[in-house]
């Protein structure tokens, strides 16, 4: 959807972290202002220059009375970790990422880094994925830090770099020793009211067809790499769409994310590359998918006399949790109390920083946050301010 220009509502600036004495309206206003400031700090990945937004978040948390550390990843890129002591042993890790995907500025009808608040929504790159949710995590930690009674468990806020590309910020935090006492990983990605106790696997494959260049007027003298690549892509999409659904996990899905072929219109294309994004519902689907890709690729290449090859770019198995986990049930109760309806509980269809943390710490994961993933990775990204306010209340109930 493209949002028409109009009057900006709720245009506020941050005056510092709120306190429990503030009214609900003032608290919501402060939350919107913080989310807006995060949107205003560009952090597209690549190139992944998260240092500026990490320094802002760390300073904001320090002003809220928390100790916040900057965790280096590489020059110009850092993550943030803050800790709040609780009553009982073990830490609940609250996780969100600071980077966004890149975008084409001309495709937006609103400025992507303005942080416009209009029609009850925050507009801008990363508003849903996931600077709005990150603002909720920061505000919740700030409020809990000001209460006389500490939360049930230690709380660790992990704001990561490089989630949108390689999960390396989360990996560096997991390896740093700062979450060694984790008993739960709670990731606030936008889930549109759903509560996920795991996530599908992420398998990225690059398929390549190699032919032989020739003059465009004599295509018979060459071997096109583009033609078998096109047939391969269509055949694979049809085959993946026919796979059976896995109960409780959904279907394995395919997105053809990139297709590059040829270098000039009057030259027979010698090379074609296709990048495939597969989200696996079961761990055992991985080897089957690789075999299917190989079989279809070789079949279509042979028709033209081309050569087929594939390589794995990213490979993360599914993370499967327990829908009856006590923390999942407790969070579900909080969602139902605030929203009036219990959330659906299942397996997250997209991937998160859990792939870099769970294998290192073997900790249960819950993915639940404000906004819709359907609004992310597209022009005119936005999130409802009411969704931010509601999730703020949900987390306060769950963590207290």
Mark whether 303 and 370 lie in a shared domain.
no
Q: What is the tens place of the pLDDT at every residue in 38-61?
A: 999 999 999 998 999 999 999 999
Q: Looking at the chain, which runs of residues are DSSP E strands? A: 67-74, 77-84, 88-97, 116-118, 121-123, 153-160, 182-187, 195-199, 201-210, 253-261, 271-280, 307-316, 345-348, 365-367, 382-384
- pTM for the whole structure: 0.85
Query: To the nearest whole number, what is the mean pLDDT of the chain?
Result: 93
Nearest to 11 by CA among 115, 91, 160, 158: 115
Half-sphere exposure of 223 toward its Cβ, with a 13 Å CA cutoff? 15
Mark whether 175 and 226 lie in a shared domain.
no
Mark whether 56 and 184 lie in a shared domain.
yes
- Report the domain count for the chain: 2
Instruction: Please say if the pLDDT value at position 5 is more than 90.
Output: no
Lowest-confidence range among 55-59, 152-156, 191-195, 245-249? 245-249
Range of the domain at 195: 24-199+318-399
Q: Residue 384 pairs with which residues in a beta bridge?
A: 121
Mark whether 245 and 152 lie in a shared domain.
no
Question: Residue 10 domain-assigned?
Answer: no
Q: What is the tens place of the pLDDT at every residue in 169-204?
A: 999 999 999 999 999 999 999 999 899 999 999 999
What DSSP state is assigned to residue 135?
H
Examine the fold and report which residue of 301, 316, 331 is the final residue of a domain before the chain moves on. Answer: 316
State the pLDDT at residue 146: 93
Mean pLDDT, rounded, for 217-231: 98
Half-sphere exposure of 46 toward its Cβ, with a 13 Å CA cutoff? 1
Mark whether 247 and 159 lie in a shared domain.
no
Examine the fold and report which residue of 316, 348, 372 is the final residue of a domain before the chain moves on. Answer: 316
Mark whether 39 and 188 lie in a shared domain.
yes
Mean pLDDT, rounded, for 321-345: 95
Radius of gyration of the chain (CA): 23
Examine the fold and report which residue of 296, 316, 336 is the final residue of a domain before the chain moves on. Answer: 316
Instruction: Please say if the pLDDT value at position 168 is more than 80.
Output: yes
State the pLDDT at residue 57: 98
The Cα–Cα gap between 50 and 389 comes to 26
Q: Torsions phi, psi of 217, nearest 5?
A: -85, -10
State the pLDDT at residue 24: 67
Q: What is the number of other CB atoms lying within 10 angstroms of the CB of residue 105?
A: 11
Please report, to the nearest 10 degrees, the dihedral formed by the alpha carbons of residues 367, 372, 377, 380 taken in order.
Answer: -150
State the pLDDT at residue 7: 29
State the pLDDT at residue 225: 98
Residue 312: CB partners within 8 Å, gap ≥ 6? 203, 204, 205, 290
The Cα–Cα gap between 92 and 186 comes to 7
What CATH number does the domain containing 239 carry? 3.30.70.360
What CATH number does the domain containing 165 carry? 3.40.630.10
Q: What is the tens place of the pLDDT at every residue in 358-389?
A: 999 999 999 999 999 999 999 999 999 999 99
pLDDT band at 9 (very low <50, low <70, confident <90, very high): very low
- Exposure of 353 by Cβ count < 10 A (0-12 exposed, 13-18 middle, 19+ buried)? buried
Mark whether 221 and 141 lie in a shared domain.
no
The Cα–Cα gap between 73 and 77 comes to 6
Q: What DSSP letter does each residue of 26-57 carry, written as one string?
A: HHHHHHHHHHHHHHTS--BTTTT--HHHHHHH
Question: Residue 288 domain-assigned?
Answer: yes
pLDDT band at 81 (very low <50, low <70, confident <90, very high): very high
Q: Are 158 and 58 in contact (CB under 8 A)?
A: no
Q: Are 181 and 91 in contact (CB under 8 A)?
A: yes
3-state secondary structure of 290: helix
Q: What is the tens place of the pLDDT at every residue in 110-128?
A: 999 999 999 999 999 999 9
Instruction: Please say if the pLDDT value at position 13 is more than 60.
Output: no
Instruction: Please say if the pLDDT value at position 328 is more than 60.
Output: yes
Q: What is the tens place of the pLDDT at every residue in 339-348?
A: 999 999 999 9
String of b and e for 187-214 (b: at least 16 CB within 10 Å)? bbbbbebbbbbbbbbbbbbebbbbbbbb
Q: What is the number of other CB atoms lying within 10 angstroms of the CB of residue 7?
A: 7
């Amino acid at each position: 959807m493209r949002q028409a220009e109009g009057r900006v509502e709720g245009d506020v600036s941050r005056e510092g972290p709120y306190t429990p004495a503030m009214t609900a309206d003032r608290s919501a206003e402060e939350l919107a202002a913080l989310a807006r400031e995060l949107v205003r700090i560009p952090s597209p990945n690549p190139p992944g220059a998260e240092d500026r937004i990490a320094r802002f978040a760390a300073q904001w948390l320090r002003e809220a009375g928390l100790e916040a550390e900057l965790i280096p990843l590489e020059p110009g890129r850092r993550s943030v970790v803050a800790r709040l002591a609780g009553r009982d042993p073990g830490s609940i890790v609250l996780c969100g990422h600071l980077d966004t995907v890149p975008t084409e500025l001309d495709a937006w009808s609103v400025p992507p880094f303005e942080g416009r608040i209009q029609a009850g929504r925050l507009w801008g790159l990363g508003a849903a994925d996931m600077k709005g949710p990150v603002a909720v995590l920061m505000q919740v930690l700030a409020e809990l830090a000001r209460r006389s009674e500490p939360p049930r468990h230690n709380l660790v806020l992990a704001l990561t770099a490089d989630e949108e590309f390689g999960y390396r910020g989360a990996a560096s935090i997991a390896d740093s020793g700062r979450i060694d006492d984790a008993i739960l990983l709670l990731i606030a990605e936008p889930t549109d009211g759903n509560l996920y106790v795991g996530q599908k696997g992420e398998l990225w494959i690059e398929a390549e067809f190699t032919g032989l260049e020739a003059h465009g007027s004599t295509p018979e003298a060459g071997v096109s790499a583009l033609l078998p690549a096109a047939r391969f892509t269509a055949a694979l999409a049809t085959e993946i769409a026919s796979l059976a659904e896995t109960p409780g996990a959904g279907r394995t899905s395919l997105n053809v994310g990139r297709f590059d072929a040829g270098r000039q219109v009057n030259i027979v294309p010698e090379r074609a590359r296709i990048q495939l994004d597969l989200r696996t519902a079961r761990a055992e689907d991985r080897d089957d998918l690789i075999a299917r890709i190989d079989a279809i690729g070789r079949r279509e290449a042979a028709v033209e006399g081309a050569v087929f090859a594939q390589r794995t770019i990213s490979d993360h198995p599914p993370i499967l949790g327990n829908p009856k986990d006590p923390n999942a049930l407790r969070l579900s109760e909080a969602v139902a109390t605030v929203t009036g309806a219990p959330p659906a509980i299942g397996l997250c269809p997209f991937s998160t920083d859990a792939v870099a943390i769970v294998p290192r710490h073997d900790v249960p994961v819950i993915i639940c946050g404000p906004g819709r993933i359907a609004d992310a990775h597209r022009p005119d990204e936005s999130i409802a301010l009411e969704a931010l306010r509601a999730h703020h209340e949900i987390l306060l109930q769950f963590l207290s």
